[in-house]
Amino acid sequence: MTAEESKPGQIITFYSYKGGTGRSMAVANCGCWLVKSYPTLPRGVLIMDWDLEAPGLHRYFAEVTERSDNKDRPGIINYFDALQQRLKNDPALYDRLDDDNAWKVLRDEFPLDDYLVRNVISGVDFIKAGRYDAAYAELISRFNWVDFYNDCGAVFPAFRDLLLHAYDFCLIDSRTGFNDVSGICTMLLPERLVLVFTPNLQSVAGVLDLAARAADYRLASNDPRTLSMFPLPSRIENAEHDLKQTWQKQYQADFESVFRSTSWMPAT
């Protein structure tokens, strides 16, 4: 049995409703921590920058990502754009994707290799948001994820399964807010969702709303995986002890209330 045929890995998405939470840094640190803590992982860790509108995760690994052999390497948006073109020209390929083993078709016909920045640190591969050239902005505004999903929806479970079989852990740095890309990152791909928030009302309310929607979406989904959620408070001011305590009590109660209402945490 090859490593990729053994137990599937996990996809973990880091999401924040607003920017400036330290989410990308948490993703980068988590990737490094995983390979340090589990040095014998057979397939390793993949980090993906899905913050297509404001990519920046590559800067944490600049020594490798800015190297001449990686600088112009394509990323996520280029992968899906090329895949969309290929499926338009080869409809028979799509028929083969509507199947439980679709990830193998994707692996063989449309592998990730050309898009991977290998070993940004030992054991961690990275996929950038895209190739940051003159065409990047135009490409991300032109690419219509909803149309692509409606025309070629089977691509997404196949892509998800490809990641699960290729890596032990796949960490996704999601786009913020409520939009097409954050929907893919928080609802279609992960089985673990880290909800990063700063102690302010907008930030907390945003992740709570997203958490409820993601739980509802998974419950109505044919994706059989669970969706575990982990609240991650960030940028806490330790000097303000009383204020910190008050906030902690408040957001804990808010999260518990949402988790109960979404059946995620039924009464015991």
Partner 1 sequence: MDISEDTERWLRTAGYQYYCFISYPKIHGDIGKFAWRVKDAIQKQLAATVHNPQVFLDNTDIPHGTDWERMVSRSLCGSVVMVALCLSAYYRSAHRWCGLEWAAMEKLGSKRLTGHTLRPIVPIMLRAERPVPDAVLRTQYVEMTAASLTWEKYCATLEFKKSIRQIVDYIGDVAEAIAINRVAAENCPDFLVSGESAFADWRPLRQEFPLHVRQ
**List of residues contacting partner 1 (CB under 8 A):** 8, 100, 145-146, 149-150, 153, 178-180, 182-184, 186-188, 213-215, 217-222, 224-228, 263-268
> Which letter does DSSP use for residue 20 in this model?
-
Report in angstroms how near the CB of residue 193 gets to partner 1 at its nearest.
11
Contacts of 162 (CB under 8 A, 6+ apart): 103, 106, 107, 112
If we measure between CA atoms, which residue out of 12, 58, 73 comes closest to residue 226?
Answer: 12
Contacts of 148 (CB under 8 A, 6+ apart): 80, 84, 155
Residue with the two structure tokens 């969702």: 193
Report in angstroms how near the CB of residue 125 gets to partner 1 at its nearest.
25
In angstroms, how far is CA 207 from the centroid of its own chain?
15
For partner 1, the closer of residues 124 and 227 by Cβ is: 227
The answer to whether 130 touches 52, Cβ cutoff 8 Å, is: yes
For partner 1, the closer of residues 52 and 184 by Cβ is: 184
Report in angstroms how near the CB of residue 52 gets to partner 1 at its nearest.
15
> How many CB atoms are located within 10 Å of the residue 80 CB?
20
Q: And the tokens for 187?
A: 């609802």
For partner 1, the closer of residues 39 and 266 by Cβ is: 266
For partner 1, the closer of residues 15 and 60 by Cβ is: 15
For partner 1, the closer of residues 107 and 218 by Cβ is: 218
Report in angstroms how near the CB of residue 173 gets to partner 1 at its nearest.
17
Report in angstroms how near the CB of residue 104 gets to partner 1 at its nearest.
14
Cα–Cα distance, 19 to 35 (Å, whole number): 27
